[in-house]
Amino acid sequence: MRFFISSDIRKNDLLKLIILFTVIFFVFLWLTNLLLYLKVGLSYESVVEYYRGSEETFRPPKSYLGLLEEAHFHFFSIAIILVTLNHLILFTNIKSVNKLLIIVISYVSAFFDIISGWLIRFLHPGFAYLKISSFLIFQISLLLLIAIVCKYLFEKTKKES
């Protein structure tokens, strides 16, 4: 990532290719994450049923071990994705305050997206609203991070213009 310190990235075709392939994988991750979540649904009732179960539909509640395994994997994988994308935007030409906002929003929304399932299951179903909102904000922040990286990667430098 040292190439982001200068404008060399726009002149290094192999590095651009690596970042492009990485971003393509992140786009597919984003898309599959969205599709998997839509299976649960975006309504309060569907989220509560997913985590707390339902006798009417014979859906068991999420187990402690199931939530633990899911959280374990998500804390690691989401951290890797966010450190990669947020690191890349550090060297773009967007304002520092905007960088700070997107960094904080992406991490906070991801954290609440992961833990809100626990809160729904073991504390109160009202946390379903936190789950829905944090999921949507996280998805938007990921898409924004991907767009910023792509825009910066392929825009021309002032010397090239």
pLDDT score at 147: 95
Whether 121 is in a domain gets the answer yes
pTM: predicted TM-score of the whole model, two decimal places: 0.87
Boundaries of domain holding 124: 2-154
135 belongs to a structural domain: yes
pLDDT-derived band of residue 154, with 50, 70 and 90 as boundaries? Answer: confident
Q: Assess if residue 38 is contained within a domain.
A: yes
Round to whole Å and give the CA distance between 89 and 92.
5
Is 133 a member of any domain?
yes
Question: How is residue 59 annotated by DSSP?
Answer: B
| Domain count along the chain | 1
In the Cβ-directed half-sphere of 58, how many Cα atoms lie within 13 Å? 0
Establish if 122 belongs to a structural domain. Answer: yes
Asked if residue 159 is part of any domain, the answer here is no
Evaluated on CA atoms 81, 86, 88, 94, the torsion sign reads positive
pLDDT computed for residue 60 by the predictor: 95
In tens, the pLDDT along 77-127 reads 999 999 999 999 998 889 999 999 999 999 999 999 999 999 999 999 999
Q: Residue 135 pLDDT > 50, yes or no?
A: yes
> What token pair was written down for 66?
């199931």
